[in-house]
């Protein structure tokens, strides 16, 4: 692990230790190496040159800014050879925006984990137009070998897949509140008591396949209705509608006051750990 701040490295190392032990106790450690052995393989340095020495794969997780990504990728580009793949954790910036002029740009791509990554194994692999297929395949194999569940986007697209789906849902959730159809807590309940648990096991395509006698039957019977509903969804909200914003803020801060947010995040982790244990037992 490399950082410009030694303090951050010390904190990160302590976090890695705690998280490995936590995953081990929960039976959710991925891979075959015991927690203490995995931890003993973690070294920290404030020298980028040392960190990259003979590196096969690099997961860059520094600040989320195009200028910063350009700078750190240029620094790495100058230090690596032909065999190092450089993946960025960026949630929002396509790799083409910060790797175009690099010598090793064919080895650069986005490798986006999902929050909280400790429990959610999805990883989006998003190549730039110049990323080689070999680099994509190498990252996919590495991710699989450490227990991640990678999906490879065939081409670069804004928001990748997770945020395109997530933001489409957020827009409609917002409209349901601003159009005074549902309260914010009831919108959340539609997900937590309905769609969420269903999607924890099967995605939207598998769902329509099972909700009729196969996908072709679903399309025959229901797609006209699906299109009528979709045509009725309003424009993109501004997310500044004063009434909706106030209602959503009031509802959320009553349910989860800001000074208790860390307790709610810890509870979410516990719940996700239990869900992942269940999913593991169903494999
Ligand atoms: N936080 C999440 O849930 C999450 C999820 C998926 C992806 N990401 C992505 O991961 C990246 C990091 O996000 P974060 O929330 O951990 O950010 P953060 O601000 O918490 O951490 C950034 C780290 O980068 C270090 N840093 C700053 N400049 C540096 C440099 N020149 N060289 C080396 N290290 C440097 C900082 O010291 C800090 O430790 C972003 O690109 C973000 O989009 C974050």
The CATH class of 162-282 is mainly alpha
Q: For residue 42, which phi and psi values (nearest 5 degrees)? A: -90, 120
DSSP 185-216: HHHHHHIIIIIHHHHTTS-HHHHHHHTTTSHH
- Would you say the C-alpha torsion 228, 232, 233, 235 has a positive or negative sign? positive
Structure tokens at 179: 């159009």
Question: Stretch 188-209: mean pLDDT, rounded?
Answer: 96
Q: What is the pLDDT of residue 165?
A: 97
β-strand partners of 152:
125
Contacts of 2 (CB under 8 A, 6+ apart): 9, 44, 45, 46, 47, 48, 50, 51
Q: What is the pLDDT of residue 282?
A: 82
CA-nearest residue for atom 28, ligand 1, is 62
CA-nearest residue for atom 41, ligand 1, is 90
Contact 60, 86 (CB under 8 A): yes
Distance CA(66)–CA(98), nearest Å, equals 6
Q: What is the pLDDT of residue 21?
A: 96
pLDDT in tens, 202-260: 999 999 999 999 999 999 999 999 999 999 999 999 999 999 999 999 999 999 999 99
pLDDT in tens, 108-127: 999 999 999 999 999 999 99
Distance CA(124)–CA(90), nearest Å, equals 10
Question: Stretch 248-275: mean pLDDT, rounded?
Answer: 97
Distance CA(39)–CA(273), nearest Å, equals 21
Residue for token digits 């995040």?
265
Distance CA(194)–CA(273), nearest Å, equals 20
Closest ligand 1 atom to residue 92 Cα is 43
Provide the pLDDT confidence category of residue 15 given band limits of 50, 70 and 90. Answer: very high
pLDDT in tens, 37-67: 999 999 999 999 999 999 999 999 999 999 9
* Ligand 1 mean position, distance from CA 122 (Å): 18
* Ligand 1 mean position, distance from CA 14 (Å): 17
Distance CA(189)–CA(235), nearest Å, equals 23
Closest ligand 1 atom to residue 68 Cα is 31
Q: What is the pLDDT of residue 94?
A: 97
CB atoms within 10 A of CB 171: 16
Please determine, for residue 283, whether its predicted confidence score (pLDDT) is greater than 80: no
Distance CA(255)–CA(112), nearest Å, equals 30
* Ligand 1 mean position, distance from CA 82 (Å): 25
Domain 54-159: give its CATH architecture. 3-Layer(aba) Sandwich (3.40)
pLDDT in tens, 122-174: 999 999 999 999 999 999 999 999 999 999 999 999 999 999 999 999 999 99
CB-defined site of ligand 1, < 6 Å: 2-5, 8, 61-64, 72, 89-91, 112-113, 115
Q: What is the pLDDT of residue 169?
A: 97
Q: Tell me the C-alpha to C-alpha distance, in Å, between residue 103 and each of 24, 71, 82, 139, 262.
A: 41, 14, 9, 19, 43
* Ligand 1 mean position, distance from CA 186 (Å): 34
CB atoms within 10 A of CB 248: 21
Q: For residue 256, which phi and psi values (nearest 5 degrees)? A: -135, 85
Distance CA(57)–CA(142), nearest Å, equals 9
* Ligand 1 mean position, distance from CA 182 (Å): 36
- Sketch the domain layout of the chain as residue ranges: 1-46, 54-159, 162-282
* Ligand 1 mean position, distance from CA 170 (Å): 24
pTM of the full structure: 0.93
Same fold, 54-159 and 162-282: no
Provide the pLDDT confidence category of residue 31 given band limits of 50, 70 and 90. Answer: confident
């Amino acid at each position: 692990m490399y950082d410009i701040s030694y303090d951050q490295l010390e904190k990160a190392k302590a976090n890695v230790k705690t998280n490995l032990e936590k995953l081990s106790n929960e039976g959710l450690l991925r891979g075959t190496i015991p927690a203490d052995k995995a931890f003993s393989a973690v070294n920290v340095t404030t020298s980028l040159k040392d960190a990259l020495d003979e590196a096969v794969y690099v997961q860059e997780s520094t600040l989320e800014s195009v200028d910063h990504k350009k700078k750190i990728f240029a620094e790495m580009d100058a230090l690596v050879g032909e065999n190092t793949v450089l993946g960025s954790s960026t949630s929002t910036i396509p790799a083409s925006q910060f790797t175009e002029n690099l010598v090793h740009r064919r080895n650069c791509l986005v490798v986006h984990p999902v929050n909280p990554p400790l429990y959610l194994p999805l990883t989006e692999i998003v190549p730039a137009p110049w990323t080689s297929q070999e680099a994509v395949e190498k990252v996919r194999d590495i991710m699989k070998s450490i227990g991640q569940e990678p999906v490879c986007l065939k081409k670069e697209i804004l928001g990748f897949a997770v945020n395109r789906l997530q933001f489409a849902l957020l827009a409609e959730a917002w409209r349901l509140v601003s159009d005074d159809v549902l309260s914010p807590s009831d919108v959340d309940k539609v997900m937590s008591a309905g769609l969420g648990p269903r999607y924890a096991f099967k995605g939207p395509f598998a769902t329509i396949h099972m909700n009729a006698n196969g996908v072709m039957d679903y399309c025959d019977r229901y797609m006209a209705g699906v299109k009528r509903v979709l045509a009725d969804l309003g424009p993109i909200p501004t997310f500044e509608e004063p009434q909706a914003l106030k209602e959503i803020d009031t509802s959320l801060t009553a349910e989860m006051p800001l000074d208790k947010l860390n307790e709610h995040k810890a509870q979410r982790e516990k719940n996700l750990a239990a869900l992942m244990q269940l999913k593991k037992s169903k494999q």
